Amino acid sequence: MLNLMQSSSLRIGFCVAAAAAALAGCRYDPVQAEKIRALPPEDAQGTRPEHRAGQPCVDCHSTYEGAEPKLAIAGTIFSQTAKGYLNGVNGVFVTIHDSAGATYKACTNTTGNFYITTADLQGIDDFAFPLTVSVAGVKMNSLIGRERSCAGCHKLASVDRIDRDPGVDPATGQARDSAGAIVIDPTYLSALERCGPTSIVAPSGAGGAGGAGGMSATTTATGTGGAAPVAAGAGGNAAGSGTAGGNL
The sheet that has 103-107: what strands, in order across it? 103-107, 93-97, 132-135, 138-139
Distance CA 135, CA 82 (A): 21
Judged by CB under 6 A, the stretch of 130-138, 161-169, 202-210, 235-243 that binds ligand HEC is: 130-138
Judged by CB under 6 A, the stretch of 15-23, 136-144, 203-211, 231-239 that binds ligand HEC is: 136-144
Q: Which of 33, 128, 179, 189 binds ligand HEC (CB under 6 A)?
A: 179
Binding of residue 37 to ligand HEC (CB under 6 A): no
CB 105 within 8 A of CB 219: yes
We find the least distance from the C-beta atom of residue 184 to ligand HEC, in angstroms, to be: 7
Number of H helices, E strands in the chain: 4, 10
Nearer to ligand HEC, 28 or 231 (CB): 28
Judged by CB under 6 A, the stretch of 120-128, 151-159, 187-195, 202-210 that binds ligand HEC is: 151-159
Burial of 19 (0-12, 13-18, 19+ CB in 10 A): middle
Binding mask 217-246 for ligand HEC (x = CB under 6 A): -----------------------------x
Q: Which of 18, 138, 162, 189 binds ligand HEC (CB under 6 A)?
A: 138
Distance CA 226, CA 229 (A): 9
Secondary structure percentages of the chain, helix, strand, coil, to 5: 20, 20, 60
Binding of residue 33 to ligand HEC (CB under 6 A): no
43 to 62, contacts with ligand HEC by CB under 6 A?
47-49, 51-53, 55-57, 59-61
What are the φ and ψ backbone dihedral angles of 31, each rounded to 5 degrees? -70, -50
Binding of residue 67 to ligand HEC (CB under 6 A): yes
Nearer to ligand HEC, 7 or 209 (CB): 7
Q: Is 43 helix (H, G, I), strand (E, B) or coil?
A: coil
Q: Is 34 helix (H, G, I), strand (E, B) or coil?
A: helix
DSSP assignments along 143-200, one per residue: -BSS--BGGGTSPPP-HHHHHH-TTS-TTT--BTTB---EE--GGG--GGGB--SS--
Q: Which residues bind ligand HEC (CB under 6 A)?
A: 36, 39, 47-49, 51-53, 55-57, 59-61, 67-68, 73-76, 94, 113, 115, 133, 135, 138, 140-142, 144, 147, 150, 152-154, 179, 182, 246-247
